[in-house]
Amino acid sequence: MSPMTACCKKCLTVRGALAFAAMLTGHSALAYEQGEVTPQVPHNYDVSLTTLDIKNNVAGAVIMPPPWNNSGAVYTGYIHCPDGRIKEKPRYYTATTGMTPSAINPGYFRLNDYFDVKIQVFIVNGPTPGYDVPFYDVSNQDKKSCRKNPTTDTRIESGSKGQVTFKITKPVINGVSLNSYELVKLYGRQELTPVLLNTPLTTVTLKSAIITVPDKCVVNAGNAIVVNFGDIPGNSSQLNGNNFKKDVPIKIACKGGSFDMSKLNIKLGVQPSGSGLASFSPDYLGTTGSTDRKNLGIVLKDKADNSPVIPGKFYNLKTFNNNSGSWNLTAAPIAKPGSEIPEGEFDASGSIVAEFQ
């Protein structure tokens, strides 16, 4: 029994040390710096744009919707002065974004495969529609004091207005729905000292936007493509990506916009949906089921030459005439080498995506 008792004591000692360290970390996170301004509760401005109809659906085209405006939507914050009173100092704002700078459009950030964005955020007493993000230590020229620590400010309005400008990086087909993109974090400081960037005063999120285009493509007349593999064995030696193949015929027809004006080169790809990618290889679609399906995937190939079709990549459509064509694929189950797949049903899902030049 002695070794067991010793082991138990050792475990208790380690846990106690970890818990103590965690409490220290939590306490230190509550210490605010001189002049730091934080929200009373976490605050967010949601930007919901109306439907944007693109007429000029070409790379480089700029789309400027009306500015977002939450005028009057003020929020409450705290001015912290642990080192002593702050008397009549302006507030300095810093705005950052987690998006990656665009590789092709200076001053813009990459939103997704089709759009870069430029963001401008309103600061009280600043220009309209706002300052270009990112910006650092911008004064609002509105002097306030911190007489006791903390002092409450009940009418913070900065961040409530601004402008999002879109720039097309490649033409869009069938439109795009944008949902829940974090655009900006806005920080405040009641005097000009280094900003810690610990707690944002507010976060600006692109909650929703629908962008429509005249260029439309329809796959298989709008009908879902369903592939049924039937009953298959569960051992990896037979689930090798070559056995149990099924045809996946894909027909596409396009019209409107650029399709009506000129002959276009079109590419098609398969994007993973709810089942994602296979855990053992990103080259295959993943599968789901009532039992563990992490070792089972679906391999796609071009029927014409048996070349692999990798999810997320685009491939030239060789037979595309008069804005319509076919892409004939095969699908086959594939298991992680050496694995045994449990009995039961499985599902895989993906979306056919088109792009043109």
The label of the residue with tokens 């650029």 reads 258
pLDDT at 155 over 60: yes
Tokens representing residue 174 in the block: 């069938």
Tell me the C-alpha to C-alpha distance, in Å, between residue 72 and each of 16, 38, 157, 253.
49, 19, 7, 48
Q: Which residue has the higher pLDDT, 104 or 29?
A: 104
The ranges assigned to domains in the chain are: 32-212, 216-356
pLDDT at 79 over 90: yes
Confidence (pLDDT) at 246: 95
How buried is 20 (Cβ within 10 angstroms: 0-12 exposed, 13-18 middle, 19+ buried)? exposed
Confidence (pLDDT) at 196: 67
Those residues with Cβ within 8 angstroms of residue 228's Cβ, 6 or more apart along the chain or in another chain: 246
Confidence (pLDDT) at 174: 84
Q: Lowest-confidence range among 117-121, 179-183, 209-213? A: 209-213
Confidence (pLDDT) at 16: 27
Tell me the per-residue pLDDT of 161-188, one tens digit each, with 9 for 90 and over. Answer: 999 999 999 888 888 888 899 999 999 9
* Average confidence (pLDDT) over 122-150: 93
Asked, colleague to colleague, whether 32-212 and 216-356 share their fold, the answer is: yes
Tell me the per-residue pLDDT of 264-286, one tens digit each, with 9 for 90 and over. Answer: 778 899 988 888 999 999 999 99
Report how far residue 289's alpha carbon sits from residue 332's, in angstroms, rounded to the nearest whole number: 17
* Residue 221 backbone dihedrals phi, psi, to 5 degrees: 55, 25
Q: Which CATH number fits domain 216-356: 2.60.40.1090, 3.40.50.11890, 2.60.40.420, 3.90.470.10?
A: 2.60.40.1090
Cβ(246)–Cβ(290) under 8 Å? no
Task: Report how far Cα 45 is from the mean position of its chain's Cα atoms.
Answer: 17
pLDDT at 43 over 80: yes
Report how far residue 68's alpha carbon sits from residue 90's, in angstroms, rounded to the nearest whole number: 25
What is the fold, at CATH topology level, of the domain defined by 32-212? Immunoglobulin-like (2.60.40)
Q: Lowest-confidence range among 143-157, 299-313, 316-330? A: 316-330
* Average pLDDT of the chain, as a whole number: 86
* Residue 247 backbone dihedrals phi, psi, to 5 degrees: -75, 145
Confidence (pLDDT) at 18: 29
Cβ(275)–Cβ(286) under 8 Å? yes
User: pTM above the 0.75 mark?
Assistant: no
Report how far residue 334's alpha carbon sits from residue 297's, in angstroms, rounded to the nearest whole number: 5
Q: Lowest-confidence range among 11-20, 189-198, 200-209, 213-222? A: 11-20
